[in-house]
Amino acid sequence: MQHLITPNDFTNKEIKVLFEDARLFQDLQSNNLLNGKLIVTLFFENSTRTRSSFEIAAKRLGAAVVNLEVQTSSTKKGETVEDTVANLNAMKPDAIIIRHSECGLPASLIEYVDCPILNAGDGKNAHPTQALLDLFTITEYFNGKIKGKNIAIVGDISNSRVASSNLELLPRFGLNPILVSPTRYQVKSKFKTTTNLQKIIDDLDIIMSLRVQHERHDSNTLVQDLEKEKQEYAKKYCITKKLLKDKDILVLHPGPVNRNIDISNEVLLDKRSKVLEQVANGVAVRMAILKKLILQ
């Protein structure tokens, strides 16, 4: 049984096949490949894109979806997540999709299930489907010629599961990540790291902007200090037209975008920004992943 906990659960060869399927699903039309299958989603952390993307992907493949409302579930009555998952598993779903704030939780649930577990984000640890859809979007944009491309990952690297999964995945396909962030969001890394985006802009083919994960920071920061911190951050790291000029740079963001802090309004409207293509590709890639894991 294959699960998807981190991007390393799929080989490069498997990912290439997955992307061939995703390309076929790119029109986002319905089919009946997963007719009669049932998928459970369990989101213990907020989500707009990932949860709806998985649900739409499952429904486009003809599967039924049960979204467990965790706010009203028995975990609120003291049941452990392991017991909740074991109970759901007893009802014989064909896959369980889980998001949780605890790093490593989805991996620890594998022993309680007889169906694939898909990690939809565990704390700051991993977000494999986001990294796969990012790689797919990059591959499509450059018509497959992605080897040697330089990608700046800009933002709260230390708290971002999107950064960690992309750093695991992108170099396997020949991309060169450069980590760009204020010192306080830096991590120890084998990749080039800088605080100065302006200085490296001419070397870049792709910018992946990330949200600052304030919810994972010290919650004692005063509201006015937080606002000041955001504005200070934006001055150096917001992706603006002034920064991009007329350079041919692909601009990505996993969402939710903090407008004019992560990316300016103007750049979001620019054809170099492929943020909504990422969202559309996310459904196609998740269709391919669900097909692969459920029909394995």
Name 121's Cβ contacts closer than 8 Å, sequence gap at least 6: 45, 47, 50, 99, 100, 127, 130, 161
Read off the tokens for 129. 């489907």
Q: Which is nearer to ligand ASP, 3 or 211 (CB)?
A: 211
The number of residues that bind ligand ASP (CB under 6 A) is: 8
Q: Which is nearer to ligand ASP, 85 or 163 (CB)?
A: 163
Cβ atoms of 178 and 150 within 8 Å: the answer is yes
Q: How far is CA 102 from CA 19, 112, 119, 161, 270, in A?
A: 29, 17, 12, 12, 37
**Contact between 123 and ligand ASP (CB under 6 A)?**
no
CB of residue 83 to ligand ASP, shortest distance in Å: 25
Cβ atoms of 261 and 230 within 8 Å: the answer is yes
Counting runs of H as helices and runs of E as strands, what totals does the chain give? 11, 9
Half-sphere exposure of residue 100: CA atoms within 13 angstroms, side-chain side? 23
CB of residue 133 to ligand ASP, shortest distance in Å: 11
**Contact between 155 and ligand ASP (CB under 6 A)?**
no
Instruction: Mark the segment that binds ligand ASP (CB under 6 A) among 72-80, 193-201, 254-262, 269-277.
Output: 254-262
**Contact between 255 and ligand ASP (CB under 6 A)?**
yes
| Contact residue for ligand ASP among 7, 106, 121, 123 (CB under 6 A) | 121
Secondary structure class of 151 (helix, strand, coil): strand
Binding residues for ligand ASP restricted to 44-83, rule: CB under 6 A? none
CB of residue 127 to ligand ASP, shortest distance in Å: 5
Read off the tokens for 7. 């991007």
Binding residues for ligand ASP restricted to 166-225, rule: CB under 6 A? 211
Which residues contribute to the site for ligand ASP (CB under 6 A)?
121, 127, 161-162, 211, 254-256
